[in-house]
Structure 1
Amino acid sequence: MSYDPPRPAGRLLLTPEDKEAPARTRRLRGLGLGERPEPALDAFAGHLAALTGSPYAMVNFLDENGQFFAGLHAPAVGLVVKEDGTRPELGRSLPRDHGFCPHVVVRRRALALEDVRDYPRFAGNPVVDEYGIHSYLGAPLIDTTGMVLGTVCVADVAPRPWGMTGLEAIKASAAELVASLEAGGLPLL
C-alpha cells in the first residue's frame, strides 16, 4: 500500500487577472498619468476623504507593474499599531495583490465593502493586516473609449456602512474626475 500525501484543496485566487493592463499602461502614459504624484489629484483625494469622512482616499492608476496613487490623502502616520510597535505609512505604490482596486478595475463596477473581514475573498488581503483597513469604497475611472484607467477610492480602519449615499458619491466623483482628465486637465477644486 502506498501513501499519497494530501493534495492542496486549492487556493482562492485573490487578485483577478487583468488582461487590459498593457493597453491601460499605454493609455495612461499617453495621458501623462500614473508615474508621478499630482498635487491636483492629492487635492481631489482630500476632497473624497472629506466627502466620506474617511482617513484614506486615493486616485489610483493600475498598470502592468502594480498600483500607483497619483492622488493620495492619508494620515501622516498609520492609524494601526502593529505588534512590533510600528505604525505603517501608506506610500504611493502597492503591488497588484494588495488592496481592492484591482477587483474594481477588472469587474468595471463600484465596490462597497462595509467590513472586508465579512468576505473570505477579501479578508485575507495584505492591506487588512499591514494597514488595518477594514472598509473600502471604490469606483472605476472609465474613459470615453471604454478603458478603465484606475479607481477613486476611500478606506477606513473601522467598519463603515457606506450605503447608497456613499456608493453614489464615489461613482459621481469618478465620473467627474474622468471628465476632467479627458478634457486635458486635472481637476480644480
Structure 2
Amino acid sequence: MNYEYPAYQSLTPADREAPHRMRRLRDLGLGESPDPEFDEFAQKLAQITGAPYAMVNFISEDRQYFAGLYTPPAARTSTPEVAAAGQPGRVMPRDHGYCPHVVVRRKALVLDDVCDYPRFAGNPVVDEIGIRSYLGAPLIDHTDMALGTICVVDTEPRPWGRRGLETIKSLAAELTTRISQRTGR
C-alpha cells in the first residue's frame, strides 16, 4: 500500500459561528483595518507579559486580521499588512496560529512550548515564524459572541503558568469592556 500525506494537514477546528461573528464585527466596525487603540493595547500586552509579539485578533471564515499588533522594533516593516520574512503581519490565514482554536473553544489557551503538543507543533507558524509559545484568550462580548482574541507569542518556550492565564483572561475582559463602551453596542 502506498499512502500519501500532504505536507501540512490542517487541524484547525470548524467554526460554525464565523458567519454570525462576521455580521457582528461589521456592525461594530471591527476587524477590517488597523486600529491605533488596539495597537496600544497590543503594546500593553507585550509589556505586561514580557512577550516580543502581541495581537488583538479578529477571525473571519478564512483569515485572521490583527487590528492590534505589536512586534519588536527590529521586526517592523514599512508596510504593516506584509510581514518581513519570519515575522507576523496584519493578515494571516485562518489555519495558521492558535487563535482560531481559542475562538471555537471559547476558552483561554496556554502553550508553554507548542512543540510539546503534536496537534499544535505542526502549525505553519512554528516553521514560518518560529513561534514556540502562545498565550491567548477570547474576546466574548455581551451578546455572548466570541469576536476574536488577544494573544502573545514568543520564539522561545515560556512558562506562562497560572499567572499568565489569569493575566490574559483579565486583559481580555478589559478589552471586551472597552470595545462595548466605544461602540455602544
The TM-score, its normalising length taken from structure 2, stands at: 0.89
Deviation at 1:7, TM superposition (A): 4.9
Please give the secondary structure, in 1, of the residue aligned with 2:182: coil
Distance across 2 between alignment mates of 1:65 and 1:95: 6
Distance across 2 between alignment mates of 1:182 and 1:131: 33
Q: What do the CA deviations read for 1:11-67 (whole angstroms, capped 9, x no partner)?
A: 975100000000000000100000000001000000000000000000000012310
Q: Over the residues paired in the alignment, what is the CA RMSD in angstroms?
A: 2.1
Give the alignment of 1:8-157 within 5 angstroms.
14-78=11-75, 87-157=85-155
Distance across 1 between alignment mates of 2:71 and 2:5: 38
Whether contact under 8 Å (2:15, 2:104) holds in the other structure is: yes
Please give the secondary structure, in 2, of the residue aligned with 1:159: coil
Deviation at 1:88, TM superposition (A): 2.1
Q: Quote the residue 1:83 is aligned against.
A: none
Whether contact under 8 Å (1:77, 1:89) holds in the other structure is: no
Deviation at 1:6, TM superposition (A): 4.0
Please give the secondary structure, in 2, of the residue aligned with 1:133: coil
Percent sequence identity is 60
Deviation at 1:78, TM superposition (A): 4.5
Q: 1:43 to 1:185 in 2, by over 3 A?
A: farther
Q: 1:127 to 1:78 in 2, by over 3 A?
A: farther
Amino acid at match of 1:113: L
Whether contact under 8 Å (1:76, 1:89) holds in the other structure is: no
Q: What do the CA deviations read for 1:142-176 (whole angstroms, capped 9, x no partner)?
A: 01111000000000000000011110000000000
Whether contact under 8 Å (1:49, 1:55) holds in the other structure is: yes
Distance across 2 between alignment mates of 1:109 and 1:6: 40
Q: Which runs of 5+ in 2 are unaligned?
A: 77-83
Amino acid at match of 2:149: T
Distance across 2 between alignment mates of 1:9 and 1:41: 40
Distance across 2 between alignment mates of 1:59 and 1:140: 10
Amino acid at match of 1:183: Q
Deviation at 1:183, TM superposition (A): 1.3
Instruction: From the CA coordinates, give the structure whose radius of gyration is larger.
Output: 1
Amino acid at match of 1:132: G
Q: Which runs of 5+ in 1 are unaligned?
A: 80-85
Amino acid at match of 2:130: G
